[in-house]
Each structure stands twice: as structure tokens, then as C-alpha cells.
Structure 1
Amino acid sequence: MKTLAARFLLSLGLLSLAAAALAFPAAAATVIITADRMLDVVTGRMLANPKVVVTDGRIISLDGSGAPVDAQRIDLPGLTLLPGLIDMHTHLTSDPRVGRVDRFLKTDGYWTLVGAESAERMLSVGFTTVRNVGSGRFDDVALKQAIDDGRIPGPRIVPATHALGATGGHCDNNWLPPSLAEKAAGIADGPEALRARVREMRKFGAEVIKTCATGGVFSRNTEVGQQQQREEELRAIAEEARMWGLTTAAHAHGTEGIKAAIRAGITTIEHASLIDDEGIRLAKERGTWLSMDIYNTEFTQSEGRKYGVLEDNLRKDREVADAQRENFRKAHRAGVKMVFGSDAGVMPHEQAPRQFAVMVRYGMTPLEAIRAATVNAAEAMNKAGQVGRIAPGAFGDMIAVPGDPLADVTTLERVAVVIKGGELVADRRP
């Protein structure tokens, strides 16, 4: 009895200490980050000798003001600071190096662990925020929670959970015979059924609703140009998501599916490979964002066969590759709003920064490509002021690169330092 009483009193004491800690929180943690230069992605100007002050994960000043004398320092001589990068189209729980047959030999939980590895890789190459546009078993929500709780390293995740789509369409399970077939969790047909799916995905953690408006490259029994959802179905998704305060993303390679998604009010069009002049005009008129993954075909065509990609999928990839890149050029020239989306997971996640050089090759200036992965992406996610720029009030998410990324955008392939919330999370300096 004495032992039980002692344990009870000890428990009360611990509870009292916890209550006191809540009543009197610890002093705010502050860090000062200095570098030779800092890119203001809004104005395009380089600022000399920044002193970025981050308190409890948020930026409070750019000139050193507000920092206590004993603040921690991260000094980055010789480097250029930029905002942490944002990738608007990732699949963290996918790995293109696991072949189609081998995937059926893995247990379900294997892909959650793949996602943890992918998240760390993306963070290490400079992506401090990613939008994960579709995963099974709500894995992207699990990853977000584990990262936010500090259990595993990774970027800030905006999860879509299960992608919505039509029966037999790109986002359905089309690889199994009828005796083993199972509908993917996001599949529904008709406006009201799709509205219900939006509510279900939001209920379990979706912050963006992804839907598949057309066929795709890596699915079976679909063609990329094939529209698979009617405009009224896409409109129901967009309206329902907007009512709940969510943005939307439509996988759409095909010309008519792209235009239907734009007219329906979808926030971002993913891939947009076969967009035509009318689609470009509609996107510009309605302020629709295009997210065009114009790098990953290089990995698919050079390495895909080695990892078991079927010839039919390689064919579809070849058919859209050049058209997508030229349409990227045309859309950019027309002034359509664009964001950075790599489709990481179709190629290894750490290769995502290679897309910047391709965006410049097809018409963007380095500054425009950087903006696509910073301020533009933040605006498209309704997170302007939180991520995508180095400014008071934003999260202290930054990268540092050698040299001048406005003169050579490939410096973004050699990120030296990654800082998330004021914490040094990757350091490749010699």
C-alpha cells in the first residue's frame, strides 16, 4: 500500500509539473541565419548580407532585429539564401525502381515506409513543402502527422489521400483479373457520388482533392487523351471541395478533359500534356494553374524498361513527351499561371530539382522557374504568406546554394543547406 501511495503521489507531482509547464511556457527559441545574399522571389532582387531571424519556427525579421544576444546562429558564408522549394505534384509512397510484378510481393505497410524514405530525400534536396496528390490507405496523412510530430524527417505535406476517378479509369485498380479485382477507394461515378467522396477524403485528412479527368501514361487500359469524367462530375468535385475550403487538382493529359476541368473550376491542371490553344486561353482567362511535369520522361525512357515498365506505358510516355514540353512553352508564352510539379515517384524523388533546367530550356527565365516552386505554388495552395518566400510571418523554411541561381538555375541541383522552421536539417557544405 505504501508503494502504491508513493506512486500515486509521484504521478500527482508529474502532473503538477506538466501543468506548470503549460502555464509558464519555455522562452521562445530564436535562430539567426546569415548568408552572403538572399533572393527576394517577389521582386527578383538579390539582397546583400541578410540576417534572417526565426523565432519558434516563424520569421520575424530580415535584418537581425528582435533577436536576443544569445540567439543560436547558422552562418552560411559564400552562399545564397532562397525560400524552401515547393513541389506541387509528388507521390511519396511510390518508387519507380520497384517493378510492377514486385509490387504485388510487398505487404501493404511497406509503402508507408517507402514514403518515409521519399519524404526525407525530398527534404534533403531542398523541398520543404510538397503536395502529395494521391496515396493508398491514407498514407500521406500518416506521413504528415509523423513529420509534424517530429518522429521522422520530411517536408510539410499537403495530402490528397485517395485520388478520385471513374470506374475503370486512370485512378482505378486495373491491373488485376475480375476474380481479384477491387475498386480503388476514391472511385465513384456521377456528381452526387463524387461529392460524397470529397467529403470522405476531407474527413480523413485531405487538404487538396485530386481527381483523374483523363487517361494516363502508367495505368492499364486507358489512353492519355481519353476523357474519363464528364464536366458536370468535375464541377461537382470543384464545388464541393470549395465549400469545404479545399483546393482541387485534376490529372488531365487529354485536350477535352483539360478544358472540361478548367471550365468546371478545378484549381490546378496536372500534366496538361495535350492542351490546345483554346485550353490555354481558358486557363489564362480563368486563372487556372498548370502543373506540367516536363522532366520525368527522361528517367522513364532511359531507365523504365530496366525496372519493368511495360512497352505500352513507354509508348504512351513517348507520345506525350515532346507535345507536353512544347505546350509548356506555348502556355508560358501566353502568360498562363504555372507551378512546379515534378511527379516525383514516377522518377526517383531526389531527381526533382532537375526539372528547373528543363523549365528554363522551354522558355522560362530562372526567376520564373524559381517562382513556380515558391510564391506561385504557395498561392495555388492558398498558403501565401506561410511558405514560398522569406518574409516576416512565414515559416523559417530556406535553402542555401552556391553561386547565383538567377545566372545558373542548375545550382538548385546542388543545394548545400536546407533549413525547415529555423532548424538545420541538411548540410552538404565541405
Structure 2
Amino acid sequence: MIAVVVVAMTTAAPALAETVVVTARRMLDVETGRLLDDPLVVITDGRIAAVVTRNGGRPKIPADAKRIDLGEATILPGLIDMHVHLTSNPKYGGYSGLQFTDSFWVAQGAGNAGRTLRAGFTTVRNVGSDNYADVGLKQAVEEGWIEGPHIVPVAYALGATGGHCDETFLPPSYDRKSPAMGDSPEELRKRVREQRKYGAEAIKVCATGGVFSRNTAPGVQQLREEELRAVAEEAHFWKLKTAAHAHGADGIKAAIRAGIDTIEHVSFIDAEGIALAKQRGAWLGFDVYNTDYTLSEGAKNGVLPENIAKERAVGTLQRENFRAAAKAGAGMIYSTDAGIYPHGDNARQFAVMVRFGLSPIDAIRSATTNAARALGRTGDVGAIRVGAYGDIVAVAGDPLADVTLLERPVAVIKGGERVR
């Protein structure tokens, strides 16, 4: 029998503290990759106070502690999606979204936040939204008005005038433009400061064209390396992590050399780019599931033919490059681009990652330990460990044997509170 005592709480919780005790059949230790028997997790005021497995000495627990017994389930840390758009909805593509007033998007975003949490994703990084909507959703979750995960907002994504993160669907008479565009290193430094001022906790920049914009080619670089470096330096000066939307090989390598922390999409990365990412410690976030949804459902949702054609051209090559990066041992994070496909289906990407070369434990680590490191929040999320948030997802079986179990969680706990 395995006997592991991770930590035992030796003193009683404070008199006014709320204590929750979670038990289950097994726990996946994502750091070691081992399944441990009979875990007992003590959560006090939303954070983990003790973790004990079979034959470990039991901690002292207040008599009035709440119990959550998950029976034969396997527990693991709450999952992390590093690339979501909570206020986006794939049901409305192309120009069909113009039928709604501006506030519609944040209102339906509240529903998307709840779906994401119930799917087992207790933390997300929202990499771009209009009108600082992701900041508002984060505040509403924290105040208890809506149900949702911990949200790391980036507010507006930065980019070049006319580039992927600008407004590219309307004619000049509408004078529609993103307020976060910059066309020099100094302009982009100012945009970083503005996003931080209004609540961004990370910074995203668009280094190349994209699939779902008009008049941009995904593989073409749109910001110079010195501009990307200005974004990275300014964000890091303010202690903020950075992400780059980058499909093309040149833009990927420029973003890595500039010091951007995570590279998103990474569709056309080459061998040089993979080696550079490993050398510089950049994390790669391939969104390898959403192609299936866009190609099957995009046209009926109003996605323009040119955007579907770009997705078809990008998707196959992106998955083969994912395979090459996985084989090379590049650092991977779990980035799905939820909002391009329905929120709540986030876990469907695990199976695709395994199909194209990751082991189940490494796919799970991409959404736990790796993601926590990339966020710079290992003390809060990514593992069932003392001091972290009491965020737990439970599945009915062994996720190392069948990673699709993560698509069907039997329980989700956030901060010690079971999500209904």
C-alpha cells in the first residue's frame, strides 16, 4: 500500500473559519503522475490546509466541518484553460453578431462563465474582450453575483492598426477601431499601461494575422520584434505575464526572442521555433480542438467563407506541428480558444492532444502545473497542495487510462464549495 502524507494540519482551524473536508477513492498527484489512495483534503476559508492519503496521520478537524464525500471518484486539481473568450459565442459568426446591442455580449458571457466552471475549469485566462468586459465578469464572480471560474483578464488585446486584433469588418464610414492598437514601441508601451490601469492582470499582443479577422493572413507577421519587445518589457516591468497571438513562423520566433511568455495558436511553428521556445522557456499553447467545430458548424453560424478557408488551411498543419513540438519536449499549456467553439466543451481538447503525441499525464499537466507556472500563480492553482485554492475536479475512473473522462466530471469544487 502507498502511504503518503503530503502535509498534516496539526492545530485546529480558527474559531470562525469555515472548514470543508473532501474525501474520495483516489487522487491524481499531477506533479508525480501517481494515483494515491484514499485522499483526505482539508479546505479552510477557501484554501487547502492539509492533504493526506492512505495510512497518513489524520489532521485535527473541527467538529462542525462540512463533509464532501466523492465516493469512488478520482480527484485532481481544478483545471486551467489559458485561452478563452468568455464574451464570445460561436453561434454568432461573421456579421451576425451585429444584430445585438453591446451589452448583450457581457450578459451572455456570464452564462459562459458558469458553463466553464461546471465543466471543471476553475481558472481561466481571458485573452481579449471589448469594453473591459472580462474585468467586469471577474469582479461579478468575486462578489458572488454570478457563477464562474477564477478569471485572469487581459482586457483589450494589443496589436497593429488594421491587424488581427483591430476592428476589420466595417467600412471607414463607421470609424470602428480598437482602442488598444499601437504603431510604435512607445505607443504599445502606453497601451500596456492603459490595460493594467483598467484591470488587466496579463497582457496579450497580436504578432501575426489571424483566422477570424478580415484582410489579414494568419502566417504574416504584423508587429516588428522591437514592438513586441516593448510590450514584453513594459508588461514585465509592471509584473504582468504576456501572451502573443502568433500563427506564422516568423512572428512566433520574433515573439519568443522579444520575451513573450506564452505563444498562442503556434500553427506554423518550425523546427527552429520549437528549439527557440525550449531554449528561452516560452510556453506553447496550441488550440488543436476548435478546428473540428469550425469546419462542421461555422458556415451555419455565419462564419464567412474566407475565414472557414483559412481555418481549413491552418488546422491540419497546426496539428502536425503540435506533434513535432510534443516529440521535442517543448513546454505546453492548455489553450483552447473557447468562444470559437461552445464554452463548457473545454475538456474535449485533451483527447486531441493525446492523439497527436502527448501522454495523458502531460496533457493534464498542460492544464494544471504547466498552466500555473505560465500564469506565475503556482501558489494558488495547478495542484492539490497546502496553500492553494480549494479547487478540485472529480471524475469516475482513471483519467490516465481514459483522458476523455475529463469531459464528464462528476463533481467540481471551487474554493471548498461544491458547484451545483
Q: TM-score, normalised by structure 1?
A: 0.92
Matched, 1:406 2:396: no
1:104 match: secondary structure? helix
2:93–2:304 CA contact under 8 A, matched in 1: no
**Rounded Cα–Cα distance in structure 2 between residues aligned with 1:142 and 1:209:** 17
Instruction: Choose the corresponding residue for 1:110, options 80, 83, 104.
Output: 104
**Which residue of the partner structure matches residue 272 of structure 2?**
278
1:421 aligns with 2:418: no
* 1:116-165 C-alpha deviation (Å, 9 max, x unpaired): 01100000000000000000000000000010111110000000000000
Q: Tell me, yes or no, if structure 1 residue 132 matches structure 2 residue 137.
A: no
8 Å contact 2:243–2:260 — kept in the other structure? Answer: yes
Determine if the alignment matches structure 1 residue 165 to structure 2 residue 159: yes
* Secondary structure of residue in 1 paired with 2:99: coil
Q: CA deviation at 1:100?
A: 2.7
Partner of 1:237: 231
Which of 160-169 and 103-112 deviates more? 103-112
The residue type equivalent to 2:110 in the other structure is A
2:19 aligns with 30
Match of 1:176 in 2: 170
Match of 1:367 in 2: 361
RMSD, aligned α-carbons: 0.9
What residue number does 1:39 align with? Answer: 28
Deviation readout 1:399-421 (Å, 9 max, x if unpaired): 00001000000000111100000
Give the structure 2 partner of residue 198 of structure 1.
192
Provide the secondary structure at the position in 2 that maps to 1:349: coil
Letter in 1 for 2:141: I
Query: Unpaired segments of 5 or more residues in structure 1?
Result: 1-24
Paired residues of 2:96 and 2:302 also in contact (CA < 8 A): no
Local SS of the residue matching 1:129: strand
> How many Å apart are 1:49 and its aligned residue?
0.6
1:364-418, CA deviations, whole angstroms, 9 ceiling, x for partnerless residues? 1110000000010000000012101001000000000001000000000111100
Deviations 1:313-363 (A, max 9, x none): 011001111111011111111111110000000000111110000000001
Partner of 1:5: none
Show CA shifts across 1:153-201 (max 9, x none): 0000000000000000000001111111222021111000000000000
Task: Structure 2: state its 5+ residue gaps.
Answer: 1-13, 53-57
SS in 1 for 2:393: strand
What is the aligned partner in structure 1 of residue 10 from structure 2? none
User: How many Å apart are 1:111 and its aligned residue?
Assistant: 0.6
- Mapped to 1, the partners of 2:417 and 2:395 lie a distance apart of 17
Q: Among 298, 307, 310, which residue is 1:313 paired with?
A: 307
> Structure 1 counterpart of 2:351, which letter?
A
What amino acid is aligned across from residue 266 of structure 2 in structure 1? Answer: A
Alignment partner, residue 333 of structure 1: 327
Give, in angstroms, the shift of residue 26 of structure 1: 6.8
Q: Tell me, yes or no, if the aligned pair for 1:173 and 1:181 is still in contact at 8 Å.
A: no
Larger Rg: 1
Offset from partner CA, 1:226-274 (integer Å, 9 cap, x none): 1000000000000000000000000000110000000000000000000
User: Does the 8 A contact of 1:134 with 1:159 survive in 2?
Assistant: yes
Corresponding position of 1:70: 64
Shift of 1:99: 3.4
Match for residue 44 of structure 2 among 55, 59, 62 = 55
Cα deviation, 1:284-310, whole Å, max 9, x if unaligned, reads: 000000000000000000000010111
In structure 2, give the amino acid aligned to 1:34: T
Q: Shift of residue 102 of structure 1? A: 2.6
Please say if residues 60 and 66 of structure 1, whose CA atoms lie closer than 8 Å, have aligned partners that are also in contact. Answer: no
Equivalent position of 1:9 in the other structure: none
Give the distance between the partners of 2:386 and 2:289, measured in 1 at CA. Answer: 33
User: Are residue 156 (structure 1) and residue 145 (structure 2) matched?
Assistant: no
Q: Please, what TM-score do these two structures have when normalized by structure 2?
A: 0.95
1:386 to 352, 359, 380: 380
Query: In the alignment, which of 259, 269, 281 is matched to residue 263 of structure 2?
Result: 269
Deviation at 1:69, TM superposition (A): 2.2
Runs of 4+ in 1 over 2 A off after TM superposition: 99-102
